[in-house]
Chains A and B, each alone.
Chain A
Amino acid sequence: MSDVLLDVRSITMQFGGLKAVDSLAFQIKKGQLVGLIGPNGAGKTTAFNMLTGVYRPTSGDILFAGQSMVGLRPYQISRNGIARTFQNIRLFRELSVLQNVLIAFNQHVKSGTWSAILQTQSFLDEEAELRSKALALLKVFGLDRKADEIASSLPYGEQRKLEIIRALATKPKLILLDEPAAGMNHSETHQLMETIAQIRKDFDLTVLLIEHDMKLVMGICENIIVLDHGVKIEEGNAQHVRSSQKVIEAYLGVEESV
């Protein structure tokens, strides 16, 4: 058995005449922490959307644990074990912090409709159990004290954390984090990266991380994939990527145009 968890085979996403992602191919091994970087508009989020079923690739195939994910709906992909966060935070804004986590548990709930209507003992037990599990998960990030607060009332950084918790609650094998540090200051970012490294160990996870800022991922990622204009221009460890002429050009090109 190979230890490749995710095998992306030459996926392309075409919107009208524009190829947002062009023949992207890469592999992620089980337990790896991989960074997907590139300038704005390089196609990183589009790649995520294909991996999670929000978009269906125009061509190419995505194998997850040996199974093709192309054509599955996002909820099916989530149930296969891929979870994600969103670049522009998509919490269930008007629901409580606790409910946000509980919803992510839904796919593992055993009680059916009728046991809820009849309030059977097994239903009540399961609800209580879900609640304590959710609180335990919140506690990892220090959010358990805010369990009953409305999600949108949390400060920005905690909303990002809650998104990660919510993704973890689906019990994924692979978690995709879309710019988890966006909008955070330097020390918050640093702390977050450490937390990510930590949960990877604790939850036995494989992580794919989008980051706009190259320096951030250098420290923690074992493998880094660089996208520019929808095309993979480089892949390798931090040292390799840092010294790549193509990468430097891609980033410099952006800075020039700003």
Chain B
Amino acid sequence: MLRSLKLPFLSFLGLIAVGLVLEFGFSAFIQITALFVLVNMIMAMSLNLVNGTSGQFSLGHAGFMAIGAYVGAYLSQHWALFPEGLTALNFFVYTLLGGSLAAVFGFLVGQPSLRLKGDYLAIVTLGFGEIIRVALLNMDFLGGARGIHGIPTVPDGFGLSRFMAQYLFGSFWVILCFFFLWRLVHSNQGRGFLSVREDEIAAESMGVNTTAVKVRAFVVSAFFAGVAGVLSAYFVRYINPSSFGFLRSVDAVIMVVLGGMGSFTGSIVAAILITIMPELLRTVQQVTGVDLRMLIYALALVLVMILRPQGIFGSKELRDFWRKK
């Protein structure tokens, strides 16, 4: 039991080390980018479970993210479980609840996915994302189109700066997400996901309840997308419905495709690259005066599909590369 926490703990220490470097060596701007990297890592890993491991296709993950973000933002302004002094714990509760409501919606969206394949599922999930956005626009108690301002953030304390507090909070969820998904996928459950991706009819004939497997993939994935949403609300401290539009979903798809569908470490690497790319492109943008980001992403999607459809990592994981072939 304790042994199983060893790797997660070591990885957390590693992330803390990176955080310390960021804290003392880099500007506030780079720091906020690092927080986005954490959010996007969770987003990409969560989508990878559905699009990569299970072979389904969600184009509406921003919808789950939105649900998480709104729950997290609303609760932090209106409700506290733990008293003053233990405020930090509240934020864990909010995040869990945000993820949980997103998971409930994941269950509902997972239902049509039982009947629908590829293209259709993509459109339905896209529709789901849009419906969530339109619904949020019409909910006045959640600020309507104006959204929610002044969202509290993870409290600092114990000598931690605000960045460090946010960063540690985000890192905790990244580690949780990674090890949860990794271990899930490398168990009999994970083999169920893979069998559905490979051949549903064969999977059913081998006794795999493909319905349950697909719904489970959506529920787990939606939970972590919701968590990513909560984190983004606490990092940016301002959300509105258009923060979670179609392009947000596409961002996640791009990360999963570039990283290699089915590879969690690939998703992580791609999340880092995609999040810092706009910064690298900044100089180009100053010369041309236009936002080339989406143009490059779009080209990359097409080129990857034609030239290297398995993405950067394929379905391999980072560790497979230093294992002897």
Contacts and interface: CB of A to CB of B under 8 A. Distances in A.
Touching chains A and B, CB distance < 8 Å: yes
B27 interface: no
B207 A75 contact: yes
A90 B202 contact: yes
Contacts of A105: 188
Contact of B204 (A73, A99, A120): A73
Interface string A51-66: 0111000000000000
A94 B205 contact: no
A2 B207 CA distance: 27
B315 interface: yes
Contacts of B187: 111, 113, 116, 123, 127
Interface stretch (A24-32, A79-87, A210-218, A235-243): A79-87
Interface string A65-101: 0000000011100110001101000111111000100
Interface of B: 1, 3-4, 179-180, 183-184, 186-189, 191-192, 194-195, 198-199, 201-211, 315
A109 B188 contact: yes
Main secondary structure of the interface of B (DSSP, over half): helix
A227 interface: no
11 contacts: A53-B204, A92-B199, A103-B206, A103-B208, A106-B207, A109-B188, A111-B187, A113-B187, A116-B189, A127-B187, A170-B207
A221 interface: no
A132 interface: no
B184 A86 contact: no
B73 to A, nearest CB: 28
A117 interface: yes
A169 B191 CA distance: 14
A116 B195 CA distance: 18
B208 A92 contact: no
A109 to B, nearest CB: 4
**Residue of A52, A86, A93, A95 with most partner-chain B CB within 10 A:** A95
B183 A74 contact: no
Contacts of A169: 206
Interface in A109-125: 109, 111, 113, 116-120, 123
B183 A117 contact: yes
A75 B210 contact: yes
A166 interface: yes
A120 B3 CA distance: 9
Contacts, number: 105
Interface of A: 52-54, 73-75, 78-79, 83-84, 86, 90-95, 99, 102-107, 109, 111, 113, 116-120, 123, 127, 130, 166-167, 169-170
B191 to A, nearest CB: 5
Nearest to B204: A74
A120 to B, nearest CB: 7
Contact of B201 (A90, A95, A113, A116): A90
B189 A83 contact: no
Given A116-B189, A119-B4, A123-B187, A92 B210 contact: no
Contact of B205 (A74, A111, A113): A74
Nearest to A104: B206
B223 to A, nearest CB: 13
Given A90-B199, A92-B195, A92-B198, A107 B1 contact: no
B194 A92 contact: yes
**Residue of B183, B188, B203, B315 with most partner-chain A CB within 10 A:** B188
B20 to A, nearest CB: 29
A130 B188 CA distance: 10
Contacts of B4: 118-120
B207 A79 contact: yes
A79 B212 CA distance: 15
Given A78-B207, A106-B191, A86 B198 contact: no
Contacts of B192: 103, 106
A256 to B, nearest CB: 35
Given A99-B191, A106-B188, A106-B192, A116 B207 contact: no
A117 B112 CA distance: 28
Contacts of A83: 205-206
Contacts of B315: 94
Given A92-B195, A93-B198, A103-B192, 14 more contacts: A74-B201, A74-B205, A78-B204, A91-B199, A91-B202, A93-B199, A95-B198, A103-B194, A109-B188, A111-B187, A116-B186, A117-B180, A119-B3, A169-B206
B206 A166 contact: yes
B205 A52 contact: yes
Contacts of B207: 75, 78-79, 104, 106-107, 170
A130 B191 CA distance: 13
